[in-house]
Chains A and B, each alone.
Chain A
Amino acid sequence: MEFGPHLLLATLEGAVGAAVLALTALGLSLVFGVMRVVNVAHGEFYMLGAVVAWFVASTLGSAPATGFVAALLIAPVCAAVVAMAADRLVLKRLHYDPEATIVATIGILYIMQQTALMGFGPEARPVAPPFNTRIALPWVEWGENGLALFYPWGLSTTSYKLFVIAAAAAILIGFALFLSRSRFGLIMRATQLDRETALAFGIPVERVYSLVFGLGAALAAFAAVLIVPIQQAHYLMGADPLLLSFIVVIIGGLGSLRGTVVAALLIGMSDGIISVFFSPTLAKILATLLVALVLVFRPQGLYGKKRA
C-alpha cells in the first residue's frame, strides 16, 4: 500500500483506539482527581462492562441493535453498582489512605478477574455490532487526466468504527458540560479542590466519593461496550486499557479533563500510526519514554496544575 492511503488507514485505526482510551482514562483520572485513589482495578471495570454487554446482548438475542442499546444502558450501571459497593465495603473502611487503597484495588482486580473466569469462562466472546457496513475509502491520484479518485485495496473502515469515534466524542463533551454546568459537577470540583472545606460547607464527601468511584467505573464500562463489537469480551482484557490509561493520566495531568483527552489522542493516534509504520513495540517504548520525560520535566502533567 502506498504511503498516503496507509497513513489514512493508520489514522482511522488510531482514532478508534484514542476514542475508547479517552473514555477509560477519564474514569481513572476522575477517581484520582476527586478521591486521590489510584484505582488499579479500573481495567477490570472495563472488562466487567464488556462481559455484561455480552451477557445482555446474548440474553436478549433477537436483533443486534436492541441488545447493543440495552447493553449500552445496563453495563455502565452494573459496573457503577459494583464499584460503589467496593467503595462502601473496602475503600471507605481504609479511610481512602493512598497506599492502602492501591493494595486494596489490586485485590479487587484479582477478585473481579477470577470471578469473571469462573462465571464467564476463558473464551473471548463476541457481541454483534448494531450496524456494520464496510465503507471503502477513495484516494486521490494525479493521473493522466489530472486528479482522479480511486479505491486502494484494503483502504476501508466500517460505519461502526466511525460511530465509536462519534459516540466517545459526544460522551466527552457531555461530561465536560456536566462537570462545569451541573450542581453535582460543582460539588465534585469542590471536593477535588479541598476535601476539608467541602466537608465544612456541608457537602456529603463520602457520598460524593461513592458516586465518583461509580461514575469512573461506568465510564470504563461504557468504553468497553463501545469496543466489544470490534474486539471481544475476555476476562483478561482489562490489562491493556489499565496500563494505557495510567500513561494517559500521567501525561495529561491527574484530574485534568482536557489533559486526559489530549493525552489520549496523542497516545492512541501515535500507537496506531507508529505501530503501522514501524513496530508496535516501538510505539509502547515511545509512550513510556514520553511518560518518563513528562515526569522529569513537567511532573504535574501537560495540563495539570501545580499543587500549592
Chain B
Amino acid sequence: MPKLMTSRRSLLKGAAAGGLLTASPLVARFASAQSSAPIKIGFQQHATGIGAAYGRWYGRTTDAAVKAINEAGGINGRPVEIIAEDDGTDPKRGAEVVEKFANQHGTDVAFGTLFSHVVYGSAPAAGEQKMPYFVVSEGHHVASGKLNRYTLQPGITDVKSQVQAMAPYVSENLGKKVTMIFPDFAFGHDHRDFFTAAIEAQGGEVLEHIAIPPTETSFTKYFPKIPRDTEVLYHVMVGPAVLTFVKELGEFFGPSSPEIFGFIDSLEAVDLSSPGLEFLEGTYFWEGNPRYAQADQTSFDKNFRAAVGVDENGASVSDPADVSTYAHMFGCWETLHVIKAGMEAADYQGPQDRQKLIEAVEAMSDMAESDAHPQGPKVFNGKTHQVFGKQYISRVEGGKLLRVHATSIEDTLYPDEVDYTTMTF
C-alpha cells in the first residue's frame, strides 16, 4: 500500500506543478525576456567602516569594469548590472548582505569583499544560499580550504604566496634578522605565519612578532619591543590609522633605522608626500600592482588607469590628493572579467546554471596579461580556487615608488592544501 500512496502523491504533485507552470503568466513572461534581462552581480562593498577607503576605490574600479564589459557587448549578450550593498566592513553584516543578494535582489553571483574577517563571516552564507561568491581579499582563507566550493578568489593573489615570494629578496638584499609588525587578526596572522616560515627557509629568522589591534590609533608605545639587533623591520598595517602608524615609526627611529620593508597596505590610499613620511625614502614596499606608472608601463596598465580614472601617480584624475588603493583594486577588474569568461564558457543563463559557472571557473588555468588582466599574467588553480601571479617590490625614490624587483609566478606557488572540486555542491 505505501508504494501506491507515494506514487499517487508524486503524481499529484507533478500535475500541480505542471498546472502551475502553464497557468502562470509570470513564468512565460520571464522565459521570453530571459535572454535580454541583465546579469545581476551583487557587490559586497566596504562603503563604511574601517575598509571604507578601499570600498570607495573598489566601487570605482567595479563601475569602470562593468562599463567596459557592457560596451563590449555584455555577458552572453546580456548587460551586466551591479547591485552594491554596504557591509560596514563587518562580518555579521557581510553575511546578511549575501543573504539579501540571494533572497531579495536575486543576484546571479556575489562579489567584491576585501577584508578577511568579512570573508570569513560571509562565505558560509554564500555556501548556504548556493551563491557563487567571488572575493577580492588576498587572504589565504580560500586556498587554505577553510571555506567552501562556492567561494573563489580568481582576481587577486593570496598573502601566503605574496610573503613567500618576498622572503628571498628580503634575506638577500636587506638582512636576515627580521622583526615583524602586523595587525592582530586573520590577515595579519597570515603574514606572521607564512613570512616567518619563508624567511627561515632562507636561513633568516624573525626576532620578534609585534601584533597590534586593528582598531589601535596610537603606535609609539609598541615600538620599544623592536629588538636592538633587528636588521629589517617588516611592517603591514590596515585601517584608518595607517598614516599615524608609519609617521610614528619614522619618529621613533629618527636617523638610525634598520632597513624597512613594508606591505603597501600600510599606505594604501595615503599620499606618499604626506607630512612626516620623508623618512620612507629608500625603504621598500611590496606592491600588488605598482601605484606609480613605471617606465616600462604596459598598454594594459595604461588602459586600466584611463578606464578607472587614475593618473600616473595612482591618484584620482580629478583630485591628485585622492590616492587610490592601486595595489588591490585591480582585483575587482580582473575578477569581473573572470566572471564574464566563466559565464560565457558555461553558457550561463540564470541561477540554475550557478554550478556550471563554478565548474567553468575551476577549469580555468592560464590567464594572459591583457586588458582583462592588466596587473600581469596569472595562473588559476581550480582545486584551491586561488589565482597566482607576479608580485612587485618597489623602493621609495624621490618620493615615488620605483619598481626594483618582480617575482615570477613560480616564486609564489606552494603545495595545494585543499581540493574544492571534490566537495559536493
Contacts and interface: CB of A to CB of B under 8 A. Distances in A.
Interface of A: 1, 5-6, 9-10, 13, 17, 64, 117, 121-124, 126, 128-129, 132, 134, 136, 153-154, 156, 158, 230-232, 234-237, 240, 272, 275-276, 280-281
B241 A232 contact: yes
Contacts, number: 89
A91 to B, nearest CB: 27
Interface in B354-381: none
B185 to A, nearest CB: 13
B213 A280 contact: yes
Given A134-B251, A272-B221, 11 more contacts: A64-B275, A121-B56, A122-B56, A122-B240, A123-B240, A123-B322, A124-B242, A234-B241, A235-B52, A237-B240, A276-B221
25 contacts: A1-B224, A5-B224, A13-B220, A17-B218, A64-B275, A117-B52, A121-B56, A121-B322, A122-B52, A122-B56, A123-B240, A123-B322, A124-B53, A124-B242, A132-B276, A153-B253, A154-B253, A156-B254, A230-B244, A232-B240, A236-B50, A237-B240, A240-B217, A280-B216, A281-B213
B418 interface: no
Contacts of A123: 52-53, 240, 269-270, 322
B224 A9 contact: yes
A276 B218 contact: no
Contacts of A17: 218
Contacts of A9: 220-221, 224
Given A117-B48, A122-B56, A136-B254, A237 B217 contact: yes
Interface string B227-270: 01000000000001111100000011110100000000000011
A156 B252 contact: yes
A13 B53 CA distance: 28
Instruction: Give the interface SS of chain B, mostly helix, strand, loop or mixed.
Output: loop
Interface residues of B, number: 37
A281 B214 CA distance: 12
B94 interface: no
A124 B224 contact: no
A17 B220 CA distance: 12
B55 interface: yes
B49 interface: yes
A225 to B, nearest CB: 16
Contacts of B244: 124, 230-232
B228 A153 contact: yes
Contacts of B213: 280-281
A126 B217 CA distance: 13
B220 to A, nearest CB: 5
Contact of B48 (A122, A136, A231): A122
Contact of A128 (B52, B275, B322): B275
A195 B127 CA distance: 60
A257 B412 CA distance: 59
Contacts of B256: 153
A35 to B, nearest CB: 29
